[in-house]
């Protein structure tokens, strides 16, 4: 009797062990689960406010950006100080899109209608909804693919409670450590820092964003200044045409 009782206990224990191992294999780690929730949460946002500070030995960058999916607008302002030997060089750049037109701030303080080099907000919002990498939000897929994620402590960023997650990244020969703080309620990233370039990003989502076209526009040359060719001069080679 004792033999059968002991055998049943061992069988039950074995089944529990197999079940636990099977569950562990099928259930992703807590960090992976949270990052997947964040990836899905980012698909629903309609506006973003971003601040970024980077303090590398060669340069210092301060940047702010806003994106509004509802009216296809964005604004991006950056201040860069480049350190070269004993001199510092300052670079300023301000660009925006409003009313279907893009504008770039000139050195004289006037705005000029010009291509900014940044993708249209409509495309950014479309790619956000698809879970594709965009410039104004963290790349959660990259960290899920190349990172080892460890759970950290809670803290508050701009009034929102978030939990820090430490990510050890390795892409090829490049190693990087990131810390990203994800909201405990909405699963959206509030802050991210990396070891490369000593950079920190801060995010706010679904906040009111209004971006109007600038008033002080630089004068532009007229586009209706076509002049006909002088008499006797043709725009095509008549001799070749007759041949």
Q: Is 181 exposed, middle or buried (0-12, 13-18, 19+ CB in 10 A)?
A: buried
pLDDT at 15: 54
Measured on CA atoms in the order 153, 159, 160, 165, is the torsion positive or negative? Answer: negative
Mean per-residue pLDDT over the chain, rounded: 84
**Residues with pLDDT less than 70, the chain:** 1-29, 221-243
pLDDT at 196: 78
pLDDT at 83: 92
Q: Is 118 exposed, middle or buried (0-12, 13-18, 19+ CB in 10 A)?
A: middle
Q: Please give the model's pTM, rounded to 2 decimal places.
A: 0.76
pLDDT at 162: 98
Does the residue 79 lie in any domain?
yes
* Chain segment 67-97, per-residue pLDDT in tens: 999 999 999 999 999 998 889 999 999 999 9
Q: What is the domain extent for residue 38?
A: 29-205
The domain that holds 145 is classified in CATH as 2.50.20.20
pLDDT at 20: 39
Long-range CB pairs of 147-154, under 8 A, 24+ apart, other chains included: 147/178, 149/29, 149/31, 149/32, 149/35, 150/31, 151/30, 151/31, 152/179, 154/184
Does the residue 70 lie in any domain?
yes
Counting the structural domains of the chain, the total is 1
Does the residue 194 lie in any domain?
yes
Give the DSSP H or E segment for 147: strand 147-157
Does the residue 105 lie in any domain?
yes
Query: Phi and psi of 230, rounded to 5°?
Result: -60, 155
Does the residue 137 lie in any domain?
yes
* Chain segment 21-49, per-residue pLDDT in tens: 333 333 446 889 999 999 999 999 999 99
Does the residue 93 lie in any domain?
yes
- CA dist 99 and 217 (Å) reads 14
Does the residue 68 lie in any domain?
yes
Does the residue 156 lie in any domain?
yes
Residue closest to 65 by CA, chosen among 48, 90, 80: 48
């Amino acid at each position: 009797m004792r033999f059968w009782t002991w055998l049943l206990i061992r069988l039950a224990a074995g089944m529990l062990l197999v079940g636990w191992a099977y569950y562990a294999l099928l259930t992703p780690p807590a960090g992976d689960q949270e990052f997947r929730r964040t990836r899905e949460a980012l698909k629903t946002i309609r506006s973003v406010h971003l601040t970024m500070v980077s303090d590398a030995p060669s340069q210092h960058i301060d940047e702010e950006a806003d994106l509004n999916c509802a009216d296809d607008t964005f604004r991006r302002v950056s201040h860069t100080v480049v350190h070269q030997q004993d001199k510092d060089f300052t670079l300023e750049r301000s660009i925006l899109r409003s009313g279907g037109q893009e504008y770039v701030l000139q050195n004289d303080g006037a705005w000029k209608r010009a291509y900014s080099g940044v993708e249209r907000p409509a495309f950014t919002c479309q790619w956000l909804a698809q879970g594709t990498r965009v410039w104004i939000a963290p790349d959660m897929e990259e960290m899920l693919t190349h990172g080892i994620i460890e759970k950290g402590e809670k803290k508050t960023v701009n009034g929102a409670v978030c939990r820090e997650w430490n990510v050890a990244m390795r892409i090829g020969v490049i190693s990087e450590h990131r810390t990203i703080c994800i909201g405990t309620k909405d699963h959206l990233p509030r802050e991210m820092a990396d070891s490369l370039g000593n950079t920190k990003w801060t995010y706010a989502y679904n906040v009111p964003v209004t971006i109007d076209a600038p008033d002080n526009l630089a004068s532009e040359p007229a586009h209706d200044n076509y002049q006909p060719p002088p008499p006797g001069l043709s725009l095509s080679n008549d001799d070749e045409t007759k041949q």
